[in-house]
């Protein structure tokens, strides 16, 4: 199946010449140069007359190409808007980043009383609904307005740090996401384990999910953390 929306978006991107070197800005100066050369040609300078004609033709060509790009960009933008309004399903890999919502299609939902189309938003596990149930959508369309409140989720940055400490006098091991500024990534939950091997395995799995490196401080010469004791 041809993804018409993707094709339209590619055309729109190809027509976007913002910040790219183009000849549009040269048209006015080329026309002025052509006029000056034509005046010299009127005084009997055949070379100037010929050069005036060449430059005039080039200016027209460049102007026409600039107009063509403008027209193509306008048509592409209109096509993108029209196709989006039709709600044509697209591959989930093209879904927008961030904490907004989509209408996703999860083919694993086969119960008669449930629709495989659900509103969902990105999370560390992939996609989730407002009840925190996770899904594996294969297609998506824009979710009609009104949009739900944004979830606040964002891609993880920094590293996963594992450390050792004590809770109620017993050894405990913890893994947390540490942001590039050195602070803990809240509200992402920390992971706990009663063994160094356990927390290392948890951290490695978490790291693959988030795409972050692991920093192991369990055996490093650092001040261990101390979990807050529960109040009696």
* Residues 169, 220 share a domain: yes
Least confident of 39-43, 48-52, 89-93, 226-230: 226-230
DSSP conformation class of 89: -
Name the residue range of residue 42's domain.
4-85
User: How would you class 149 by CB atoms within 10 Å of its CB: exposed for 0-12, middle for 13-18, buried for 19 or more?
Assistant: exposed
Report the C-alpha gap between 18 and 178 in whole angstroms: 38
The answer to the question of residue 147 being in a domain is no
The answer to the question of residue 152 being in a domain is no
* Predicted local confidence at residue 100, as pLDDT: 94
Q: How do residues 155-191 score in pLDDT, each as one tens digit?
A: 999 999 999 988 888 889 999 999 999 999 988 989 9
Q: What CATH number did the domain enclosing 203 receive? A: 3.30.420
The answer to the question of residue 28 being in a domain is yes
Report the C-alpha gap between 174 and 195 in whole angstroms: 10
The answer to the question of residue 31 being in a domain is yes
The answer to the question of residue 154 being in a domain is no
* Predicted local confidence at residue 217, as pLDDT: 92
* Residues 99, 74 share a domain: no
Can you list the positions of beta strands (E) in 24-158? Answer: 90-91, 101-105, 117-123, 126-128, 134-135, 139-142
pLDDT tier, 18 (very low <50, low <70, confident <90, very high otherwise): low
* Predicted local confidence at residue 11, as pLDDT: 80
Cα distances (angstroms) measured from residue 200 to each of 156, 177, 196, 215 = 19, 14, 6, 10
* Residues 99, 77 share a domain: no
The answer to the question of residue 148 being in a domain is no
Other CB atoms within a 10 A radius of the CB of residue 222 amount to 11
Above 70 in pLDDT, residue 1? no
Closest CA to 107 of 122, 88, 89, 121: 89
pLDDT tier, 29 (very low <50, low <70, confident <90, very high otherwise): confident
* Residues 49, 36 share a domain: yes
pTM given for the model? 0.56
Cα distances (angstroms) measured from residue 57 to each of 39, 46, 125, 143 = 17, 17, 59, 50
* Residues 98, 33 share a domain: no
pLDDT tier, 87 (very low <50, low <70, confident <90, very high otherwise): confident
Task: Say whether 99 sits in a helix, a strand or coil.
Answer: coil
* Residues 74, 15 share a domain: yes
The answer to the question of residue 232 being in a domain is no
Q: How much of the chain exceeds pLDDT 70, in percent?
A: 89
Asked whether the beta carbons of 24 and 62 are under 8 A apart, the reply is yes
Bridge-based pairing of strands 101-105 and 90-91 is unpaired
* Residues 102, 78 share a domain: no
What is the average pLDDT across 200-220? 91
Report the C-alpha gap between 51 and 39 in whole angstroms: 11
* Predicted local confidence at residue 223, as pLDDT: 45
Least confident of 80-89, 114-123, 221-230: 221-230
Structure tokens at 77: 């933008």
pLDDT tier, 228 (very low <50, low <70, confident <90, very high otherwise): low
The answer to the question of residue 153 being in a domain is no
Query: Of the residues 85, 101, 128, which one is the last residue of a structural domain?
Result: 85
Query: Of the residues 108, 142, 176, which one is the last residue of a structural domain?
Result: 142
Above 90 in pLDDT, residue 213? yes
* Predicted local confidence at residue 174, as pLDDT: 94
Q: Is the model more confident about 67 or about 198? A: 198
DSSP conformation class of 184: B
Structure tokens at 36: 């000056």
* Residues 101, 132 share a domain: yes
* Residues 19, 76 share a domain: yes
* Residues 181, 118 share a domain: no
* Residues 217, 204 share a domain: yes
Closest CA to 80 of 92, 90, 93, 68: 90
* Residues 94, 74 share a domain: no
Tell me how many domains the chain contains.
3
Instruction: Quote the mean pLDDT of the chain.
Output: 85
Asked whether the beta carbons of 30 and 24 are under 8 A apart, the reply is no
């Amino acid at each position: 199946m041809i993804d018409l929306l993707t094709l339209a978006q590619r055309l729109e991107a190809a027509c976007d010449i913002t910040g790219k070197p183009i000849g549009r800005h040269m048209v006015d100066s080329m026309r002025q140069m052509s006029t000056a050369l034509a005046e010299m040609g009127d005084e009997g300078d055949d070379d100037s007359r010929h050069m005036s004609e060449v430059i005039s033709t080039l200016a027209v060509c460049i102007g026409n190409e600039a107009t063509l790009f403008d027209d193509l960009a306008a048509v592409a933008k209109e096509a993108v808007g029209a196709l989006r309004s039709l709600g044509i399903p697209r591959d989930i890999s093209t879904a927008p980043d961030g904490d907004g919502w989509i209408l996703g299609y999860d083919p694993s939902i086969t119960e008669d009383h449930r629709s495989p189309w659900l509103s969902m938003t990105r999370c560390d596990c992939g996609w989730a609904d407002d009840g925190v149930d996770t899904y594996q959508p294969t297609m998506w369309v824009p979710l009609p307005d009104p949009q739900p409140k944004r979830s606040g989720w964002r891609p993880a940055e920094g590293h996963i740090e594992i450390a050792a400490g004590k809770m109620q006098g017993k050894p405990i091991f913890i893994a947390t996401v540490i942001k590039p500024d050195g602070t803990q990534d809240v509200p992402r939950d920390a992971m706990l384990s009663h063994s160094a091997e356990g927390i290392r395995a948890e951290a490695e799995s978490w790291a693959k999910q988030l795409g972050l490196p692991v920093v192991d401080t369990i055996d490093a010469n650092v001040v261990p953390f101390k979990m807050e004791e529960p109040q009696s």
